[in-house]
Structure formats: C-alpha cells, structure tokens
A and B are shown apart, each in its own frame.
Chain A
Amino acid sequence: MDIYLLEAIINGILLGGVLALLALGLNLIFGVVDVVWICYADIVMCGMYAIYFLYAQYGVPLPLACAIAISGLAGLGVLVHVLIIAPVLRSPPLNQLLATGGLLFFLQSFATLLFGTDFRNIGVRLPVLEVATMYLSFARLIAFAISLVGAVALYFFLKRTYLGTAIRAIAQDREIVGLMGIDDRRIYLAVSAIGGALAGLAACLLALQYDVHPFIGNTFGPVIFMICVLGGLGNMIGGFIASFVISQIIAIGGYYGSTELSYVFAFTFFIVLMLIRPRGLFAP
C-alpha cells in the first residue's frame, strides 16, 4: 500500500478521536435536553481562546490553563442552558435551532470584536514522529489518546453513577423521571455542564493542532452535526463510530484531492446516506 495513503488513514483515525469527543457532547445534550446546539463548535472556539490567552499571553502553565478552560466551558454550558435553552424548551424545534444559531452568530461576532480576525497559535511545538517513513503529529496522537480516555470516562460515568443512570433514563422517558424523584431541570443543567466540559476538553486538544480564530467553529461545526445525525441523533455509540467513518472520508478524500474537496465528499456521502437510511447508519 502507498505509504502516504497509510499516513492519511492513520491521521484520519487520529482526527476521528477529537471529532468523536465533540459528537459525544452534542449527542449527550440532544439525547437528554432534546435540543441541537448549532453553536456547539463555537463554544469550543471560546475554550481555545481561553487557553490561548491563559497560556500564551499570561503564562499560566498549560495543564492549569486547560483545567480552567474545561471548567469555564462547563460553566458556559450551564449559562447557555439557563439563558437560551430553558426559555425555548417548550417551543417548536425550529425556534430552538434558531436560538442556538443566533448564539453562534453572537459568539463569532463577539470574538471578532474582542480579538479581531487574526489567527492565533498557542505556540506549543510538539515533535513530529517518524514511524517507518510516515510522519505522524505527536499533538494528534496525544489528542487521540486523551479523547479516548475522555470517552471511556464518560461511559463509566453514565454507566456507574446515579446521575449518569438518571441521564440515560431521562433520554428514554422524559415525563416519568419525576416519579423517580429526579428533577429534570437539574439533570438538564448537569448535562449542559458535561457537554460544556467535553467541548472544553476538545478545545484543549484542538488548540495544540490548530490556530484559533473567530470562525474556527465553522470548520468543525457542520462536520459534528453530520456525524451525530449519521450515528442517529442522541445515539452516543452510533456517533462515536460515525466519527471515524467521516474522519476517514475526510482524510482519504484529502489525500486524493484538496481539503475542501474532502469535505465535499464527506457532506455528499452524508446526504446520500441520509436518503438511504434517514434515521442514521445504526437505526434499527
């Protein structure tokens, strides 16, 4: 096999890890709160700026900067829920999409206002590994590994704790959880915080690989929705697998064509697949 193709495939797998993390967060929120956060990738953008300023500007140690970013975004997730989602919880889905879409617009413009449109890099230079004449980015390897750890941690949280079990329960029967002594509003807050924290973790990993600018969310946002829909909205395992399918299409498409073309392939694949299996890849 062509060594460059292999390199592209491996890079695709590595990219899939971070996408999977974001897809988990978005799916978690959708499955529980039943609202699609169109602005999810822009929340990640906020986290990337936080890390950039904390680490590159104010010299906060990187791990601490990441911890602050993760908890900050958890707080932002709660804020988004309280200020924007809660008021439209009983509105038609369209209005919910638009409310978070308006937030997307706000976040991108506000970031432009505060930071300008410059591309900023946190300036951490991680080595590039050479394995059998293939070049693999160390930053991507780390991102992949940490994404997997995050996904596994989330799995155990959902599987082993009362709160996690309640989160899965509410996604199955929204109305009845009150009878179990579960306050759905508190679960929504918890899920929004977890979704925010996952976005924060993704922000840490992406900041190592990409420059941050106000519109970076546009690069990832549509891809993440696509992944979630392919896997079946709310289906976390489906989304996890779909992340790797899509990241492979992007990686191999990029190998044969340009970056944009690879995304065109991915979106076209998505549209075609949706028309064949409208409820996602893994729907029964």
Chain B
Amino acid sequence: MMFQLSDVPRLLPELMLAVLALLVLGSDVLERWADDPTARRERGRAAAQLTSIGLGLIWLVALVQGGLAFTIAPASTAGPLDALLSLGRNLQAGGAARDALLGAFATDGITMMARLVLIGAALVVALLAGDHLPDAHPAEFFTLLLLATLGMCTMAAAQELIIAFVALECASIALYVMAGYSARQPVATEAGMKYVLFGVVSSAVLLYGMSLAYGVTASIGGADGGPPRVNTSFAAIAEAVRVADATQRGAIMLAVTLMIAGAAYKLALVPFHSWAPDVYQGASPTVAAFLAAASKTAGVFLLMRILTAAFPGVAGAAGSAGFTGWMALLALLAGLTLVLGNLAALPQDVTRRLLAYSSISQAGFVALALVPLGGAAPLRDSATVALLYYLVVALLASLAAFGALAALQSAGVADRLEDLAGLRQRNPLLATVLTIAIASLAGLPPLAGFTAKFAVFVGAWEAGAAWLVVVALAMTVVALAYYLRMLRPIWMQPAGERPAVSVAPVTAVTLALAALALIALGVLPGPLWHLAQVAVLAR
C-alpha cells in the first residue's frame, strides 16, 4: 500500500475543491478596493460566480472520472474531438478503483456517486446563494461552502477512523460558521451557537465510540491466531469483530452504539433531533438547504461506510429472525424518528420549522433504508442501490423546497404558513416548485419521492423489517396532513392584499430544473437506478 504519484488523480475532485476554496478567498482579497454596499455586492457576486463556475467544472470532472454514466472508448483514430476525448480517457484512467488509497480513502463507485451528489448539491446552493448574499464577508462564505463540501466528499470515501473523523470535523466546523453567518441577527447567532454545542457533543460521542472500537480491536488477536493488529482501518476492525468472543462483542456493540448516536445527531434522528428546527429556522435559508440536503447525505454515506465496512459482524437482525445488533438499533431509531418527527410536524406554523420536521422524518426513512445493509450480499447490494436512489431524490426535494423558501424570504415574504396565501397567483413558478417538492417529500407519484420510498420499503421488507415498513406507511398518511397544511394557503386561500413575489432569474432557473428533475426521476426512474447499480457493483 504505497502511495504513488499516479494515485494523485484519484483525488482530483477533492484537490480541485481545496484549490477552488483558496482561489475564491484569494481573488476576493485582490478585489477589496472599497467597502461601500455596491462594492460589497459586487465582490459577493464575483465570489458566487467563481464558486458556481468552479463547482460546475469539478462536477463535470467528477462525472467523467467516475465513469458511472459512460466510459470513453479507447483511442482509435485521431478525429477532431480526440484531444478532448483523450483528456476524458486520462481522467477515467484515474477513476474508480477497487483498493482504497493507502487503505484509507476509497475511490470506488460509491465515492464517485457521492462526489456527484454532494458537489452537485453545493453547486445548487452556490447558485441560490448568489441571489441571497450574506450581509458581510461573502467570499469567506463561499470558501466555507467549498471546504464543507471537501469534508463531505472525504467523509463519503473514508475507510479509516482518523480520516473519517477529520473529514467530519472539516465539514462540521465550516458548517458551524455558516449556520451563524448573519451575526447581526440574534436568531442566526442562536442557530450557530446551538449547532456548535450540539455538534461538538455529537463529535465527542462519535470519537468516544471510535476510540472504544480501536481499543477493543487492539486487544483481539488476528484471524490467523497471530498477535492483535493495531490499526484504525475499517477492514482491520471488521476482521477483529469477526473473531471477537462474546464479552468483546459487548464492548464492540457499545462502540457501535456510540458511533450511531454520534452520527444520529448529524442526521437529526429522534431523540437527537432537537437542534434541527431551531437551526433550520435561524440560519439563512440557503444554509438550511445545504444542511438539510448535503450535510445529512454526507452523514449517511459515512454511517454506511462504517457500518458495512467495519461492523458487518455485529449487524444482527431487525425482524422475525430476532432483534439484535445495529440493524435493530437503526430500526428502532427509524421507527422513533418516523413517528415522533411526523407527529411533531403537525402543529408547526412556521414554514421552515415545518420543513425541518419533515426533514427529520426524511432522516427516519434514511435510517429505515440503512437497516437492510446488514443483510447478506445480494440484499445488501440492492438495498444500497435503493439507499443511493433515495438520497439523491431526498436531496433534490430538500434543495427545491428550502431554495423556494430562500427565494420567498429574499422577496420579503415572512415565514409563517399564512404568508404563503395565494402564492399560485403571486408567483406561479414558486407555487409549482414548492408543490412539486412537497409532493415528492410526501411520496406522491409521479414524483421521484414515491419511487424512492417504495424501493426503500422493498429493501426493508426483504430484510424482515415489515413492521417498520408498516409504521412508515402509516406515518406517510400523517405526513400528508402537514404537507397539505403547506399546500393549502398556496392553492386554496386568496392572496388578498399580499403583493406579487418576484424571483431572481438564476434562482428561478435553478429551482425549475430541480423540480423538473424530480418529475423526470419519478417518471423514468430507470437511468438513475442503473447509475446507482453501477456505482454499487463497481466496488
């Protein structure tokens, strides 16, 4: 496991993210020639544009390099496009590979998929943020966005405890600052503070779990009866777990429990969810979109890596075959989150709090989708495909919903439900986008949310957790009740004296594209499903 120079391209998107972050910061330093509002706006726009263009480029690189959607044929004759094609060929040569870099950084299909998803989400957020610039220090905001994305991509690739933790903190610390970015508004400061406190505690819990796992495995002999292998890599932990005896398994289970609890904070699973509504309400809506969409997705990737790579030995069961291991733990968390998250959403009157609880309940579905990952290989693979599909769809829906709220906020619309009254008349586009996003979150066909939920249910059912599917199905009825509370003012109440709402063009196009993607993925789920399948089978 030597690191070779030829391995550098395998990290290309992450390296580009780091370079872009420095570039955005540096170019802003050079532009600080004045400090009046016009100049500040100008600087903000420049940073937003640079970030968006750069992220677009990195996304394309990740797309070509990943080779999930297409592979470029080997060189044949020198055609007019050959220079371009050979660039792509070179990128793909440094693409998906089975062995992890130094055993610590996986560049398999799932990493490729995660890069596309997370960088794509950052791109959408950057586009939206260009129309909703923060009051001060815009370039630093985009730098933080890029650094958080870098951390998230690394989280999704981690194959080793230390990398996982460092990546998590890289993402989290950037997000702490972003959550409290509008320092002049008390709610934003409160949101930032709350997020930091909860985040630090959850990191500590996670770290404690990690150190326990490390410590326990260090006292277990190798599979061949040899001495203990002191190692933080997931593969080594998995081997140690396999040969552990009953008492050691108890300690391992404690470590897994602590790690799941730490990750559950990040995912906002009940009972670790109480920070989410306040933070989503207090932070600026674009940051809320980033938190609800990208941060959560990265957390799921990390949890998936840890559970499937390091702890398949204590997966257990969550149904008729018994109720043990982390499958049972996740199933329990999923059930709690689905029930309490959905019920708590019912009485909400503030749009962003309502969506925050909806996002909590979406995390419940994600936990439900993680349960079958403890099963045998064919089930685990098909369930991973379903999970990836679900993550993409949930991410798009969250981005569209929170993005629409961001557009509403910058148009001066307050954030209570009744302020949405007559939106179909005041801005048909935003009304339609919000409706599509909400319908997808509610799981109504033909939107992608339905297919995604159905696929996830199938996986959990096969894993024996039919009871959990039944709970989730019952909760979709409750969920529809509060989603309708949001649709009602939009469609069924007159606008009255409320003024029309105008949306900036970039935001409008971005939101419309997200909504269209939700429709397209629902009507034709095949292509994305195939992509996810390639990603899973490529590992």
B is a partner of A: no
Chain A residues close to B by CB (< 8 Å): none
Chain B residues close to A by CB (< 8 Å): none
